[in-house]
């Protein structure tokens, strides 16, 4: 029984001691950010979370636009373009205070970076509407690097992008391998044809927010006017959300403890193609090679600029 054994710790830190250790849980590499026992306990609690028929779940690999989508879905549900007073973290199942999800009023917009097998067991049975958002791996790598470099808690990585990239391309970062995560969700979709599923791309949401907001509203069965979609798109522009994050969210002070002094926090740049400012020609060739060997098999066509 896996949970009763001390799991093997896989030390994937680089020769300078930077990076993360992992353990394997249900075949998934989990970064040891606290300790494996606490991590397993957290997952067990999430799996047992009682779902409600009208819950919506947002699933994404870290840095694919979860905050953005969460705000949009909440606005659609509320039928207006007012920011939710709570931060997305309140509805994020794997955060230490995830029991807060139980106390959220319906209809809830939950979110998580966990693999499907670690999400609430009732997902399939209750046919919970699931929105999956993806982003091109190059921008994800840059965004995740900036996140782990700026974070005071759990995931600090005080090294260069180059060193981070080595780990990212091998899937040895918090969140694990991006391509593994995508493949697993593709399998979930195939194995659970009754699970209502909408797939979005960060780049499309950026290119045509109104069209994508309408698609989300249709998917969750909420009627919206074109005018409301337009208002939500505007309220959820990067610039406005960044301001709202500091001015509207009730727990802003708590979250600002998460970021190092001078770091931009969760709302960094919000662009498609910022990777070009970070990735050298040689690194890009290496990245493309990994994409050809691994990501291509998913059949997912990413937009890079
Ligand atoms: P960058 O680091 O490239 O700026 P997540 O919410 O999944 O952690 O993803 C964070 C990424 O989404 C960050 O990317 C963040 O700036 C970007 N983002 C957040 N809100 C956004 C918005 N309204 N429009 C575009 N990008 C947004």
The strand order across the sheet containing 109-112 reads: 109-112, 56-60, 129-134, 197-201
Tokens representing 161 are 């992008």
Q: CA gyration radius for the chain? A: 19
**Ligand 1 centroid distance, CA of 69 (Å):** 9
pTM: 0.96
Residues sharing a CB contact under 8 Å with residue 72, sequence separation 6 or more, in sequence order: 213, 216, 232, 236
Residues sharing a CB contact under 8 Å with residue 289, sequence separation 6 or more, in sequence order: none
Predicted confidence (pLDDT) per residue in 207-232, tens digit: 999 999 999 999 999 999 999 999 99
> Does the CB atom of residue 267 touch ligand 1 within 6 A?
yes
**Ligand 1 centroid distance, CA of 2 (Å):** 36
Hey, which residues does 131 pair with through a beta bridge?
Answer: 58, 198
Q: Rounded CA gap, 101 and 95, in Å?
A: 10
Give the chain's domains with CATH numbers: 38-298 (3.40.50.300)
Q: Rounded CA gap, 94 and 259, in Å?
A: 19
The answer to whether residues 194 and 127 touch, using CB atoms and an 8 Å cutoff, is yes
Q: Rounded CA gap, 218 and 123, in Å?
A: 20
Q: Rounded CA gap, 216 and 239, in Å?
A: 22
> Does the CB atom of residue 294 touch ligand 1 within 6 A?
no
Q: Rounded CA gap, 80 and 74, in Å?
A: 9
The strand order across the sheet containing 10-11 reads: 10-11, 21-25, 28-31
Any idea of the CA torsion for 5, 178, 184, 13, to the nearest 10 degrees? -20
Hey, which residues does 275 pair with through a beta bridge?
Answer: none
pLDDT tens per residue across all 305 residues of the chain:
444 578 899 998 888 888 999 999 999 999 998 889 999 999 999 999 999 999 999 999 999 999 999 999 999 999 999 999 888 888 999 986 656 788 889 999 999 999 999 999 999 999 999 999 999 999 999 999 999 998 887 677 888 999 999 999 999 999 999 999 999 999 999 999 999 999 999 999 999 999 999 999 999 999 999 999 999 999 999 999 999 998 888 877 666 677 788 778 889 999 999 999 999 999 999 999 999 999 999 999 999 99
Of the candidates 112, 127, 106, 290, which has an alpha carbon nearest to the alpha carbon of residue 195?
127
Counting from 1 in the atom list of ligand 1, the atom nearest the Cα of 267 is 16
> Does the CB atom of residue 65 touch ligand 1 within 6 A?
yes
Report strand pairing: 21-25 vs 28-31.
antiparallel
Residues sharing a CB contact under 8 Å with residue 188, sequence separation 6 or more, in sequence order: 116, 195
Of the candidates 68, 290, 92, 265, which has an alpha carbon nearest to the alpha carbon of residue 178?
290
């Amino acid at each position: 029984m896996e949970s009763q054994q001390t799991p093997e710790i896989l030390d994937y830190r680089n020769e300078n001691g930077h990076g993360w250790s992992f353990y394997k849980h249900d075949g998934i590499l989990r970064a040891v950010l606290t300790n494996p026992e606490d991590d397993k306990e957290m997952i067990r609690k999430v799996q047992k979370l009682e779902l409600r028929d009208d819950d919506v779940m947002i699933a994404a690999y870290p840095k694919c636009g979860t905050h953005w989508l969460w705000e949009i879905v909440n606005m659609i549900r509320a039928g207006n373009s007012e920011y939710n007073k709570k931060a997305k973290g309140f509805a994020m199942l794997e955060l230490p205070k995830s029991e807060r999800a139980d106390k959220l009023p319906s209809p809830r917009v939950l979110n998580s970076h966990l693999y499907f097998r670690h999400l609430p067991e009732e997902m399939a049975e209750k046919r919970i509407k699931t929105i999956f958002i993806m982003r091109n791996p190059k921008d994800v790598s840059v965004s995740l690097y900036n996140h782990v470099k700026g974070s005071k808690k759990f995931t600090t990585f005080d090294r260069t992008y180059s060193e981070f990239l080595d780990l990212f391309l091998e899937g040895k970062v918090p969140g694990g391998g991006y391509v593994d995560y995508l493949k697993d969700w593709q399998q979930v979709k195939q194995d659970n044809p009754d699970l209502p599923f909408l797939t979005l791309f960060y780049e499309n949401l950026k290119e045509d927010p109104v069209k994508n907001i309408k698609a989300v509203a249709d998917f969750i069965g909420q009627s919206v006017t074109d005018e409301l979609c337009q208002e939500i798109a505007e309220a959820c522009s990067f610039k406005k959300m960044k301001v709202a994050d500091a001015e509207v969210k009730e727990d802003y002070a708590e979250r600002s403890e998460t970021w190092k002094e001078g770091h931009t926090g969760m709302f960094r740049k919000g662009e498609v193609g910022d990777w070009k400012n970070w990735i050298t020609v040689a690194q890009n060739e290496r990245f493309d090679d990994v994409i050809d060997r691994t990501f291509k098999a998913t059949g997912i066509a990413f937009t890079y600029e």
